[in-house]
Structure 1
Amino acid sequence: MKALIQRVKKASVTVDGEIVGSIDHGLLALVGVEKRDSEAEANKLLHKLLHYRVFSDAEDKMNHNLQQAEGGLLLVSQFTLVADTRKGLRPSFSSAAPPDDGERLFNYLVNQARMAWPKVATGQFGADMQVALVNDGPVTFLLES
């Protein structure tokens, strides 16, 4: 699994003109599921999402994690994140999990996140989503499990 995380001042996901998920300060995580992924990779990724130190401490150093910063976590499925872009001018999605497996593992990640942290919001798997954010920093990292 991969997650492109962005530290945000706020972020939201809209589907069909309605906001389906939003957070104030925290992390927006665009999540891609690959064929080889399992619950074990989802658990590893969740640990990183909750504990990766990307928030500033009193000395303005990135020493605090999401929980210490009391931030929200907005999880958005994005299969294009796992595209192979090494050859040619068109992405290959051969490494992406089939939709049913991707949805199952994404939902597993969401459920585990909600059990571990109360401030979790999501987009809608497989939907045409519009994501709005105010990147804080900007601070952006690619996490892999």
Structure 2
Amino acid sequence: GALSENFLSCRMFIKNIRLLLRSSVKYPQHIYQSAALAKRSMSTEGKGPIYSSIWNVIDKQLQPTHIELVDDSAKHAGHEAMKGSTAKETHFRLKVVSSKFEGLSLVKRHQMVYALLNEQFQQGLHALNIVAKTPQEVEKR
């Protein structure tokens, strides 16, 4: 009854406030800088050489505001394409946000990342799932 109506009203109110905040709040520059610092201070310690190499190349060449790199190699170890391969780091998921992608189609963004990681592909990287966005695309969400 009345309790569930109040609950639904509160949920709608909260949802509307969230939408309003997302669309109107521009974060101060120091927040962006601290996020960039946090991203750059993330350690590749304990990660394999291909992971570290991918991270370092993407960080240096694309100067991203955000990087997520996940090693999914263990999920693919038994696959037919991996039979006979001695490479341990073969499959990754990469999410990267960089202003270097501005004005580029999705295909061109992926081609850019693949070109940057040519050496890693030669060293055993087999598959890379890429999500490549500009800061403006992320801000719109």
Please report the TM-score for the alignment, with normalisation by the length of structure 1: 0.27
Rg (Cα) greater in structure: 2
Please report the TM-score for the alignment, with normalisation by the length of structure 2: 0.27
Higher strand content, 1 or 2 = 1
Higher helix content, 1 or 2 = 2
